[in-house]
Structure 1
Amino acid sequence: MMRGGTIRLLIWVSSAFCLIFGSLGFDPVDNFLIDCGSSTNQTVSNRVFLADGSYSAVLSPPQKIIAKINSNSNSNSSSSIDSAVFQTALIFTEASSYTFPISKQGRHWVRLYFSPFVHNSYNMSQAKFSVSAQTFTLLKDYQIEGGFIIKEYILNVTSSSLVLTFTPSSNSFAFVNALEVVLLPDELIPEGARAIGSKETEQSLSQLALETVWRVNMGNKTVSPQNDTLWRFWDSDYSYLKYEGVATYVSKPEAVKFSASPTKYIAPSSVYGTATMLDTTKETRMNANLTWNFDVEHGFKYLVRFHFCDMMSKPADTVIFKVFINDLSVSDSLDLKNLTSNVLGRPYFMDVIMRASDNPTMNISVGPYSTDGAYIYPITFLNGLEIMKISNSRSSLDVSLSNSSKMKLGVIVGLTVGVFLAIVLAIVLFLFYRRRGQAHAIHSKTEDVMANAEEGKDTNGTAMFSASKIGYRFPLAAIQEATENFSENLLIGVGGFGKVYKGVLRDNTKVAVKRGAPQSKQGVAEFRTEIEMLSQFRHRHLVSLIGYCDEKDELIIIYEYMENGSLKNHLYSSDLPRLSWRKRLEICVGAAKGLHYLHTSSEKTIIHRDVKSANILLDENLMVKVADFGLSKTGPEIDQTHVSTAVKGSFGYLDPEYLTRQQLTEKSDVYSFGVVMFEVLCGRPVIDPSLPREEVSLVEWAMKRHQNGQLEEIVDPRLAGQVKPDTLRKFGDVAAKCLAERGVDRPSVGDVLWNLEFVLQLEGNEGRSDHASHVNDLETSTVSAAELSMGSVGDIAGVSMSKVFAQMVREEMR
């Protein structure tokens, strides 16, 4: 999912490079494409990204550091997708500016490409910097968690040049992989638009900057850049649709009839020719709304563009419906036939400016029109949607600047209120304890326990963790209350460390509680490692630590609760709804993002060391989180190639090089992930003694079939008819590379992520209907904790060294 203010095009940028401006009828006079940090031009499908040196006259100061991904990574990445412009980066150790000569004043796109990697002493995931253009702040103290990101801005250039400045934050540096500055068609962005939810009825946009936050095509269809005249990517609306059960999808791009306005520059026929439509096959749905949810950054106004095109109504049909943003009406009666002169297939778009709000979610709804309580035949649909953030009064598009003044005021108010409350509380406590003097001895003992907790000490006062690094320490009594004194009815998993229970805290937060068993061989070492590791991480694809307890010889770790358990259970359990092929690909992508963050987010690589399907968990929305860091290790020093350590992990997933030489590297995680990929494809355990001898080992069986070109014979039978041949071939190639005997021959997790995103793009959207069925099954079925228990499908007896908790989630992602 994309965060507000960011277009996460990821693998789709490879498709963007395939555009030929002239052949599509758009040839901008300002068209700067730069492969930053490269010493040679990169010709990518007739688009030429010029070497950074070609722009030396406009880069000031000219000093720069050119960073390149090592040749091994290059080969793995470029073999499958054309990611040439991501192979290099320009690193700025001081404020530096590009100055672009502008031939024609007007709206220009500024696209910034970021793909962090490690080069010498520069770990780009740790870069922190700001970017400005003209008088606008585009990014402020920005830091990329990982993955591949494109930021897209729209600026109205009213001078003969455009200056783009990169400024490193204190004690840090800046970087960029590629950038574009391209003139836009005049009609694309309006001078102003109607404002809703504010005192203004109209607002001018001529002096403001925009940032594309969401660009979505309805109809459950992704539109790739090569199908858009202006090389835009349009994401499918499926994952944003709130109630999929009330929707049906229509695709008739051949019915679209462009006129003088709007032109194909506003949106291509592949957008106007698809729609998500209210399903009226059931009468109970005739008064429902179609609603999509989008994350946005509060405190900003947004330009929201609706795209409509009636492709299927009859002459006698009425096409009038209501349009809402959140609880505000955009139109009570949008008469589409009247607006398009009753021409079937003629596109129409509508721009409105949404007021600034503190709501982090924007809900877009269309619903049937009614009069006097009677519903006219409810032809209700939407073809496309764009949401663009508008720069604020500080000429900023960055949320940190937007909230700075509010934060200052909040600090002042907070301090004032805090002092007042502290005085009142002190008086109340004084009176309370004066009346409860007889409980002084008990009270003193409690104070000692809490003091130790704040200092990260055990019950004897011995320090285990730094209080500045570790989260909340829970009293044992609170955990016993949350788990009904570790009731077996709340047991959701058993692993090498101990049992895992579902718990509910007093504020109704669901948690997973992992309680160390007294006889556990992993014990204190794994307990300490997992807490220290998890305390460093905050990533949407890594499970979050909530707290811990080390009271009365107990070793307990508390995590967020994952509603849908483990990937392993969903692959093997016949009692759970099946995962579609597309959903399996999305899960692989999410897990790869989590591992990529571990490998690149700190000075030293964090090696997970126990990557397996049981440690890949799914929340209530089937979003992926990698779990169980009890065996994790920090990677080698800069002058070392590996970490020498005793072999730990799970049988069937172990890197053979690590197993035989006891030399651990991040490529050991890559090997384990390759095993998971074949699990996902085949839907069977890594070791299954019940099968014929040649099929007992999943890795040996799958690799042999891959080498013989027989992958289609080992695909999970439940995926019959879902997997495209080219997708299957590419997915198998990536998994096979991960399973190379020598670590040096395996791709990095970053390269695996690139390739998986490419596979997902190849797959398209056909598999999403299966996913919808899966979600509906999850929503309508009742699955007990025991059924979702990781213990229901155990590892081979005695070989799993860390089987974690299952079914953990919280209502909001971190």
Structure 2
Amino acid sequence: MSTQTLLLFSLVLFSFLCKSLCASNDSISASTSYILNCGISKDGLEDADTRKWNPDTKYLVSSDDSISAKAEFQDPSLPSTVPYMTARIFTSKSTYIFKVSSKQRHWIRLHFYPSSYSSLNISDAYFGVIANGITALHNFSASITAQALTQAYILREFSLSSSPNGRVNITFLPCPFHNGSYAFINGIEIIEMPDLFSTAMMVGFSDQSVDLGGSAFQTMFRVNVGGQYISPTQDSGLSRTWYDDSPYVFGAGVGVVGDADKGFILRYTTDTPEYVAPADVYTTFRSMGPDPKVNSNYNLTWVFQVDANFTYIVRLHFCELVWTKVNQRVFDIYVNNQTAETAADVIVMAGSPGLPVYQDYAVYVEDGPGDETIWVALHPSVSAEPEVYDAFLNGLEIFKMSDTAENLAGPNPVPSPLMLEAEQEPTQEFAPSKSNNKAQVIGGAAGGAAAFGLMAVICIAVYHRKRRELGIDSSTTGWLPLYGNSQSTNKSTISGKSTASSHLSSMAASLCRHFSLAEIKHGTKHFDESHVIGVGGFGKVYKGVVDGGTKVAIKRANPSSEQGLHEFQTEIEMLSKLRHRHLVSLIGYCEEDNEMILVYDYMAHGTLREHLYKGHKTNLSWKQRLEICIGAARGLHYLHTGAKYTIIHRDVKTTNILLDEKWVAKVSDFGLSKTGPNLNQTHVSTVVKGSFGYLDPEYFRRQQLTEKSDVYSFGVVLFEALCARPALNPSLPKEQVSLADWALHCQKKGFLEDIVDPHIKEQINPDCLKKFAETAEKCLSDHGIERPSMGDVLWNLEFALQLQENPDGVKMEDIDVMRTHTSSHSDGHEANMGIHGSNLSIGGDSEENEESSSVIFSQLVHPKGR
């Protein structure tokens, strides 16, 4: 080898070694995508989707001011221990540096699990995040955000434009204004992506467009309209998550959903390549429906909660799957009550039927009470005279655009007090409730639990809007000190102190005993924490003693509670006039010194939920569960038909079914109850209240309350008793999160037995299970008119009990007893109590009815022979 060749080889080798050393010193990888599990030292740990996560240490500029730590508690709703059970903790400004392609955009996904790490208080974790000069988060509290969204973990997704220097820098800065503040991160993803952003038409300014090319974005919402949940592994190469749109559809006009004909193959185009959205988005849709008269009188509308003072890009995805000619289906598009597009014809947009296309619209959301929302509405374009009056949509995405200060950070959401109570009671479902008018909830594509968490957020938004439309001041219905409201106060004729008695009817006050605060304090040993037996939306419940030895349950209002004066009054007004074996008895109340306290009979065995899965105090037998359900049904049936007016409970759930020392079920908690419609009405119009997982979907859509809303909630209770699992469980796969949806799916597919509680599976008679499941299924019908009355439900449950106790066949005398027993719980408001699905009606005095009943009963006496 010549001297010249040796010299050249040496130079090349020296150059290579220098580059290697520089790369090592800079701690930068040449990879363009990264999936990092922060705080670990081992390579290749896999998450639940078998994705491999690597350590983060070598990408830190300096790790001297950081520590790795393990979470002290694993929330059951975490989808995987990787990356959430380990974290990188920063006590001072710290930066990650990643080498990326200088020509590509990148997704930046940050994973946060707010837990206790190394004895640090998670409530002290306030920090900011800056990515390539973009303020992604500012004064961010993962703990507060998780509480507000009722999620165990938080995922934030950002899109950064290409980096000229080929690097992505992510800096964490503990908040300097909070003592003891620190920053933390559990997982970081940096994924190379195509440039999905070019220009968008400015809503309200038809001649103006917004250049999106150099901007940064945060993903706020991504929904598959009319379709199902799409997981990251089902997305078209970009690992995005698409959620069901139904929680965001506004009002009663939900339209109809549809999909492409079998065998349809989607053809992508150069204008709409495959990575824009997966085929499942473009092959499903939601339209207004077939009736042109109905369609011409309403808008198909979606509502989303966002942060104020930002510009948002609203991306609508279309694919015409039904019509084949121009001007057959034409509609107008509105965003925040402004015209975004007139006479939109998707076939014209795409150039042909069956081709996907998308449109981007930019809208600025100003700051103002109740204005932190984006409304997207579609309406048939009458002026275009199309062949059909209809509108449709396949998919929708909303992105927040960085402002002129290179900022994407919004404020921390404000958790309602009820959500804070739910944090202390993790398995208790939350209720849509009032929050401050300035409360702003940060949306996002936020993992497995985000679907129903975001549903709560939008429910709060709709709640506030409805209150304003009705002219209701939010300050009048929250918790009010009994002496602090603007109304004049009177002195109690009993205690001589200023009280809330003036807010109660004289009958309620006379039927309900007034306790002095001294009696209450004596009975609870000054509200000793050792006497607490429960915590709910109203406040803490204490076990107490009055009158020298009578055990009672004492419910004390929390001044920061969402349930306040109105609920206090409602509970007294309702329960003081009601007495029934299957309703919890209100003994009295106390309203001294700004206290609101209710005193009830003591229920020795607590709530039904405690004996199903929360705490597993007792493994109830199947017969016990059935008898408890029957008892609760009797209580609800009495509310609907036995009182002077129909009473709708509005919060039926397993925590509101209590059990006394003899395991007798009693319905409790009437703070949300409403008097039902009169004879000239079909419903009561009211803001939505209740608990998610149990909430009647029709009531949620229309804000129209009927007694059938209680029936729906009770249907969830029935499946809870059968399956021994919560109404909502975000730790399960998407399709199983909602017990109501999953149980109905299993029932229709014929494998309900697979989800029955294994403790009772062998105890249930098959005929009993069939009748019980059919009854629960009917209760969960989407439309109230299709649901049975509580009288029907009660009859069917008692019949199921007879099938359980008499596996060889139900005798006629048993049915006569059931008929007499059931009718004794009604005051005659219901003339008939039919068994749905069996053409059976009970009641009436005619012999023909009796004979008809007997014929059908004879078929039911030996159900195995049918």
Question: Where in structure 2 are there 5+ consecutive unaligned residues?
Answer: 1-29, 147-151, 414-437, 439-480, 492-496, 522-536, 569-588, 599-607, 610-627, 641-650, 656-665, 673-685, 694-712, 726-738, 761-775, 792-866
2:358 to 328, 349, 373: 349
Q: Distance between the aligned counterparts of 1:315 and 1:287, measured in 2?
A: 25
CA shift digits 1:439-469 (9 cap, x unpaired): xxxxxxxxxxx99979xxxx99xxxxxxxxx
Write the letter of the residue equivalent to 1:271: V
Q: Distance between the aligned counterparts of 2:201 and 2:376, measured in 1?
A: 17
1:401 Cα offset (Å): 11
Alignment check: 8 A CA contact 1:543 1:625 kept: no
Alignment check: 8 A CA contact 2:315 2:360 kept: yes
Q: Residue 170 of structure 2: SS of its match in structure 1? A: strand
Aligned to 2:156: 151
Q: Residue 215 of structure 2: SS of its match in structure 1? A: coil
1:310 Cα offset (Å): 0.5
1:208 Cα offset (Å): 2.4
Q: Distance between the aligned counterparts of 1:330 and 1:717, measured in 2?
A: 38
Aligned to 1:250: 258
Pair 1:378 & 2:393 matched: no
Aligned to 2:173: 167
Question: CA 1:625–1:721 in structure 2 vs 1: closer, same or farther (change >3 Å)?
Answer: closer
Q: Distance between the aligned counterparts of 1:480 and 1:451, measured in 2?
A: 10
2:321 to 306, 311, 324: 311
Write the letter of the residue equivalent to 1:91: I
Q: Residue 348 of structure 2: SS of its match in structure 1? A: helix
Aligned to 1:119: 117
Question: CA 1:718–1:160 in structure 2 vs 1: closer, same or farther (change >3 Å)?
Answer: closer
Q: Distance between the aligned counterparts of 1:153 and 1:684, measured in 2?
A: 39
Write the letter of the residue equivalent to 2:239: W
Q: Distance between the aligned counterparts of 2:741 and 2:340, measured in 1?
A: 47
Q: Distance between the aligned counterparts of 1:337 and 1:361, measured in 2?
A: 30
1:86 Cα offset (Å): 1.3
Write the letter of the residue equivalent to 1:261: D
Aligned to 1:49: 53
CA shift digits 1:726-749 (9 cap, x unpaired): 99867959x99xxxxxxxxxxxxx
Q: Residue 388 of structure 1: SS of its match in structure 2? A: strand
Q: Distance between the aligned counterparts of 1:451 and 1:621, measured in 2?
A: 26
Q: Residue 150 of structure 1: SS of its match in structure 2? A: strand
1:176 Cα offset (Å): 1.1
1:302 Cα offset (Å): 0.3
Pair 1:276 & 2:286 matched: yes
Question: Equivalences for 1:256-295 in 2 at 5 Å?
Answer: 256-281=266-291, 283-295=293-305
Aligned to 1:4: none
Aligned to 1:96: 94
Question: CA 1:572–1:774 in structure 2 vs 1: closer, same or farther (change >3 Å)?
Answer: farther
Question: Equivalences for 1:172-191 in 2 at 5 Å?
Answer: 172-186=181-195, 188-190=196-198
1:774 Cα offset (Å): 5.2
Question: Equivalences for 1:241-640 in 2 at 5 Å?
Answer: 241-252=249-260, 254-281=264-291, 283-315=293-325, 318-341=328-351, 343-358=352-367, 359-371=371-383, 376-400=387-411, 479-484=500-505, 487=508, 519=546, 531=558, 535=560, 552=592, 555-556=595-596, 572=633, 621=688, 624=691
1:361 Cα offset (Å): 1.6
When the two structures are superposed, what TM-score results if normalisation uses the length of structure 1?
0.53
Query: What is the Cα-based RMSD across aligned positions, in Å?
Result: 5.5
Alignment check: 8 A CA contact 2:227 2:280 kept: no
Q: Residue 365 of structure 1: SS of its match in structure 2? A: strand
Alignment check: 8 A CA contact 1:30 1:104 kept: no
Aligned to 1:809: none
Write the letter of the residue equivalent to 1:43: E
Question: CA 1:720–1:198 in structure 2 vs 1: closer, same or farther (change >3 Å)?
Answer: closer
Aligned to 2:12: none
Q: Distance between the aligned counterparts of 2:94 and 2:752, measured in 1?
A: 42
Aligned to 2:232: 225
Q: Distance between the aligned counterparts of 1:134 and 1:112, measured in 2?
A: 14
Question: CA 1:193–1:86 in structure 2 vs 1: closer, same or farther (change >3 Å)?
Answer: same
1:150 Cα offset (Å): 0.6
CA shift digits 1:153-209 (9 cap, x unpaired): 1111333211111111232111111011112113x122x322123698122223322
Q: Residue 166 of structure 1: SS of its match in structure 2? A: strand
Write the letter of the residue equivalent to 2:88: L
Q: Residue 284 of structure 1: SS of its match in structure 2? A: helix
Aligned to 2:221: 214
Q: Distance between the aligned counterparts of 2:167 and 2:779, measured in 1?
A: 51
Alignment check: 8 A CA contact 2:334 2:376 kept: yes
Structure possessing the higher relative contact order (Cα contacts under 8 Å, 6 or more residues apart): 1
When the two structures are superposed, what TM-score results if normalisation uses the length of structure 2?
0.50
Identity %: 25
Q: Distance between the aligned counterparts of 1:480 and 1:162, measured in 2?
A: 64
Write the letter of the residue equivalent to 1:355: Y
Alignment check: 8 A CA contact 2:33 2:100 kept: no
**Between Structure 1 and Structure 2, how many residues are aligned?**
517
1:37 Cα offset (Å): 1.0
Aligned to 1:599: none
1:314 Cα offset (Å): 3.8
Alignment check: 8 A CA contact 1:322 1:369 kept: yes
Question: Where in structure 1 are there 5+ consecutive unaligned residues?
Answer: 1-27, 403-409, 411-449, 461-474, 499-510, 559-565, 578-585, 592-611, 627-676, 687-697, 701-713, 737-766, 784-814
Alignment check: 8 A CA contact 1:88 1:177 kept: yes
1:220 Cα offset (Å): 4.2
Q: Distance between the aligned counterparts of 1:285 and 1:96, measured in 2?
A: 56
Write the letter of the residue equivalent to 1:238: S
Alignment check: 8 A CA contact 1:130 1:141 kept: yes
Write the letter of the residue equivalent to 2:229: T
Q: Residue 51 of structure 1: SS of its match in structure 2? A: coil
Pair 1:66 & 2:68 matched: yes
CA shift digits 1:637-684 (9 cap, x unpaired): xxxxxxxxxxxxxxxxxxxxxxxxxxxxxxxxxxxxxxxx99957448
Q: Distance between the aligned counterparts of 1:149 and 1:223, measured in 2?
A: 19
CA shift digits 1:721-776 (9 cap, x unpaired): 5477899867959x99xxxxxxxxxxxxxxxxxxxxxxxxxxxxxx9999681578
CA shift digits 1:615-647 (9 cap, x unpaired): 799895465389xxxxxxxxxxxxxxxxxxxxx
Question: CA 1:300–1:497 in structure 2 vs 1: closer, same or farther (change >3 Å)?
Answer: farther
1:362 Cα offset (Å): 1.2
1:237 Cα offset (Å): 0.6
Alignment check: 8 A CA contact 1:131 1:140 kept: yes
Q: Distance between the aligned counterparts of 2:174 and 2:301, measured in 1?
A: 41
Q: Distance between the aligned counterparts of 1:312 and 1:769, measured in 2?
A: 33
1:120 Cα offset (Å): 3.5
Q: Distance between the aligned counterparts of 1:38 and 1:728, measured in 2?
A: 42
1:322 Cα offset (Å): 0.7
Q: Distance between the aligned counterparts of 1:512 and 1:401, measured in 2?
A: 25
Question: Equivalences for 1:666-705 in 2 at 5 Å?
Answer: 682-683=718-719
Alignment check: 8 A CA contact 1:37 1:66 kept: yes
Question: CA 1:252–1:719 in structure 2 vs 1: closer, same or farther (change >3 Å)?
Answer: closer
Q: Distance between the aligned counterparts of 2:782 and 2:482, measured in 1?
A: 52
Aligned to 1:35: 37
Q: Distance between the aligned counterparts of 2:327 and 2:483, measured in 1?
A: 73
Q: Residue 270 of structure 1: SS of its match in structure 2? A: helix
1:61 Cα offset (Å): 3.7
Question: CA 1:370–1:164 in structure 2 vs 1: closer, same or farther (change >3 Å)?
Answer: same
Give the structure with higher Rg (CA).
2
Q: Distance between the aligned counterparts of 1:545 and 1:37, measured in 2?
A: 48
Which deviates the most, 714-723 or 245-254? 714-723
